[in-house]
Structure 1
């Protein structure tokens, strides 16, 4: 006799929610029994066994459960939906087309998964990094002028400056892949020639 399955099988998004749910619960040190009690307080009774099945990906999460879980676990529904790493994209999203950050900002509602919207996002990230670079370069000049003498701050600023330069470069690469005309041509051959 042939067995029938009701509905579609659980997809990648369900697996991501399951992993994020377990991580969020463990991050606040809540056991499954306490979690089940808190879920019951919201009016959605579930046993520890049912919650374990959800965390193992053996049972689906509906949207009402998702919002309740997020509240109980002191996080957001978007955080439970967002992948922590790119293993497989969320259900319905083409594989290999978007990077982890793009999927995360999409889940958080910061950008649509369209070329235009992602180009806008990366352009904003690029210019934000450039602004931060200028800020930290100005701070570094204060230390070079001898007005400030604390080498601890200088080391911290050098780290931040390197981090923002890496962010600028990553944003530039992704933006150029999406829209080669999005940024002006560099003014000179220096690494910071892009304004």
Structure 2
């Protein structure tokens, strides 16, 4: 990946490109085969575009992400995060990282990543992030406490609420 790009891939973009390549190769699919699968579901990405995604030379937008997950037969989070625990915090943004398991719980809407998340606020947080659960199911689900996360800009983020 060229480091002089105006808008280089961030850590999650790097995960996506690596996971697309890993899954395509695991399934013994050529770039042309993945491209044909994408075309069949209405998301045209030519083999050259897929090659550029895997090389980190083309960004993946939200529609690409969903289509790639569908044709590679995985969930969207399976493209966003490392497949295996790297044994160190996972970067979610250039200045934000959490433990691998916490990252997975967060993308599944099971826990917040913010250490300052008010424990009382977790029920509405989960209701927003798991809209398929009814109120009874939400209350029955065990809560995993938010874990401390590493973020250099946390103090700056705290003041970015409405009206700031």
Q: TM-score range by the shorter chain?
A: 0.5 to 0.7
1:33 corresponds in structure 2 to 32
Instruction: State the Cα deviation string for residues 45-69 of structure 1 (Å, max 9, x = none).
Output: 2211110110111110000010011
How do 1:132-171 and structure 2 match up within 5 A?
Answer: none
Question: 1:68 & 1:40 partners in 2: Cα distance?
Answer: 10
Confirm or deny that 1:107 pairs with 2:111.
Answer: no
In the alignment, is the contact (CA less than 8 A) between 2:105 and 2:111 conserved in 1?
Answer: yes
What's the offset of the Cα at 1:93?
5.1
In the alignment, is the contact (CA less than 8 A) between 1:42 and 1:68 conserved in 2?
Answer: yes
Alignment partner of 2:37: what SS?
helix
What's the offset of the Cα at 1:92?
5.0
In the alignment, is the contact (CA less than 8 A) between 1:13 and 1:81 conserved in 2?
Answer: yes
1:140 corresponds in structure 2 to none
User: CA-atom RMSD, angstroms?
Assistant: 2.9
Question: 1:93 & 1:112 partners in 2: Cα distance?
Answer: 17
1:134 corresponds in structure 2 to none
What's the offset of the Cα at 1:39?
1.0
Provide TM-score, normalisation by structure 1.
0.52
1:137 corresponds in structure 2 to none
Alignment partner of 1:66: what SS?
helix
Alignment partner of 1:90: what SS?
strand
1:66 corresponds in structure 2 to 65
Question: 1:83 & 1:90 partners in 2: Cα distance?
Answer: 11
Question: 1:87 & 1:29 partners in 2: Cα distance?
Answer: 30
In the alignment, is the contact (CA less than 8 A) between 2:90 and 2:100 conserved in 1?
Answer: no
Instruction: State the Cα deviation string for residues 30-82 of structure 1 (Å, max 9, x = none).
Output: 11110011111122222111101101111100000100111111100011111
* Structure 1 portions without partners, runs of 5+: 120-174, 179-195
2:76 corresponds in structure 1 to 77
What's the offset of the Cα at 1:9?
2.5
In the alignment, is the contact (CA less than 8 A) between 2:90 and 2:103 conserved in 1?
Answer: no
Instruction: State the Cα deviation string for residues 73-132 of structure 1 (Å, max 9, x = none).
Output: 11000111112335750225524xx21111122122221102366x9xxxxxxxxxxxxx
1:124 corresponds in structure 2 to none
Alignment partner of 1:115: what SS?
coil
